[in-house]
Amino acid sequence: MKNKIVKGALILSISSIIAKFLGIFFRWPLVMLIGDEGIGYYQMTYPLYMFFIGIVSGMPIAVSKFVSERSAYGDKESIVSIIKASFSIMIFLGFGTSVILLLFSDYIINLLKWDSKVYLCFIGISIAPISVCLLGVFRGVFQGMENMVPTGISQIIEQVIRVLVGVTFAYFLLDKGIHYAAGGASFGAVIGGFVATIFVLITYLKFSGKYFKGINRKKISGKKYVGKILKMAIPLSLGATVSTIMVLIDSILVPQMLLNAGYTNKEATILYGQLTGKVSVLINVPLALAVALGTSMIPTLSRIFVLNKMDEFKDKVVMCFKLSSYIAFPCFISMYFLSAPIMNVIFPNNTDGYNILRYASVGIPFIIFSQVSISILQSTSNYIRPVINLFIGCVIKIIVTLVLTGNSEFNIYGAVLATLFSYILTSYLNFSVIKKKLNINLNILDIIITPLLSSLLMIVIALLLFNYFYDMFGNTLFSILICSVIGFVVYILSLFLFKMKELNTIFTSIK
* pLDDT above 80: residue 146: no
pTM of the model: 0.70
Q: Radius of gyration (Cα) for the chain, nearest Å?
A: 23
Query: Hey, how many other C-beta atoms are within 10 angstroms of the C-beta on 462?
Result: 26
Query: Hey, how many other C-beta atoms are within 10 angstroms of the C-beta on 473?
Result: 12
Q: In terms of domains, do 366 and 511 share one?
A: no
Q: What is the mean pLDDT of residues 379-399?
A: 86
Q: In terms of domains, do 399 and 384 share one?
A: yes
C-beta of residue 145 within 8 angstroms of C-beta of residue 67:
yes
Return the pLDDT at 243: 66
Print the domain residue range for 172: 4-442
Q: What is the mean pLDDT of residues 184-211?
A: 88
Q: What is the mean pLDDT of residues 254-276?
A: 86
Q: What is the mean pLDDT of residues 484-489?
A: 90
Higher local confidence (pLDDT), 58 or 205: 205
Cα–Cα distance between 307 and 50 in angstroms, integer? 35
Question: Looking at the 3D structure of the chain, how many domains does it have?
Answer: 2
Return the pLDDT at 499: 67
Q: In terms of domains, do 316 and 437 share one?
A: yes
* pLDDT above 60: residue 389: yes
Q: In terms of domains, do 468 and 362 share one?
A: no
Q: In terms of domains, do 370 and 497 share one?
A: no
Cα–Cα distance between 114 and 195 in angstroms, integer? 30
Cα angle for residues 63, 69, 74 (degrees, 5° grid): 115
Q: In terms of domains, do 428 and 476 share one?
A: no
Q: In terms of domains, do 388 and 454 share one?
A: no
Cα–Cα distance between 226 and 59 in angstroms, integer? 11
Return the pLDDT at 240: 66
Nearest to 438, CA basis, from 300, 315, 324, 319: 315
Higher local confidence (pLDDT), 461 or 227: 461
Q: In terms of domains, do 76 and 32 share one?
A: yes
Distance, C-alpha 82 to centroid of its chain: 26
Query: Which pLDDT band holds residue 147 (cuts at 50, 70, 90)?
Result: confident
* pLDDT above 70: residue 487: yes
Q: Tens digits of per-residue pLDDT, 465-484?
A: 888 888 888 888 888 888 88
Q: What region does 215 belong to: left with phi over 0, alpha with psi -120 to 50, or beta? A: beta
Return the pLDDT at 25: 66
Q: In terms of domains, do 397 and 453 share one?
A: no
Cα–Cα distance between 210 and 49 in angstroms, integer? 36
Distance, C-alpha 472 to centroid of its chain: 38
Cα–Cα distance between 18 and 152 in angstroms, integer? 9
Higher local confidence (pLDDT), 65 or 413: 413
Q: In terms of domains, do 147 and 65 share one?
A: yes
Higher local confidence (pLDDT), 301 or 204: 204
* pLDDT above 70: residue 506: no
Instruction: Determine whether 147 is exposed, middle or buried from the number of CB atoms within 10 Å of its CB (0-12, 13-18, 19+).
Output: middle
Return the pLDDT at 1: 40
Q: Tens digits of per-residue pLDDT, 3-58?
A: 555 555 566 666 666 776 676 666 777 877 888 788 888 878 877 777 777 777 77
Return the pLDDT at 510: 43
Helix or strand holding residue 274 (H, E)? none
- Which of the listed residues 427, 442, 457 is the one where a domain comes to its end? 442
Single-letter residue type at 38: G
Q: In terms of domains, do 415 and 494 share one?
A: no
Instruction: Determine whether 416 is exposed, middle or buried from the number of CB atoms within 10 Å of its CB (0-12, 13-18, 19+).
Output: buried
Tell me what percent of the residues of the chain surpass a pLDDT of 70: 89
Q: In terms of domains, do 134 and 221 share one?
A: yes
- Which of the listed residues 442, 468, 487 is the one where a domain comes to its end? 442
Cα–Cα distance between 13 and 152 in angstroms, integer? 8
Average pLDDT, the chain: 82
Return the pLDDT at 511: 45
Q: What is the mean pLDDT of residues 63-69?
A: 82
Return the pLDDT at 191: 92
Return the pLDDT at 73: 73
- Which of the listed residues 442, 459, 489 is the one where a domain comes to its end? 442
Q: What is the mean pLDDT of residues 335-364?
A: 88
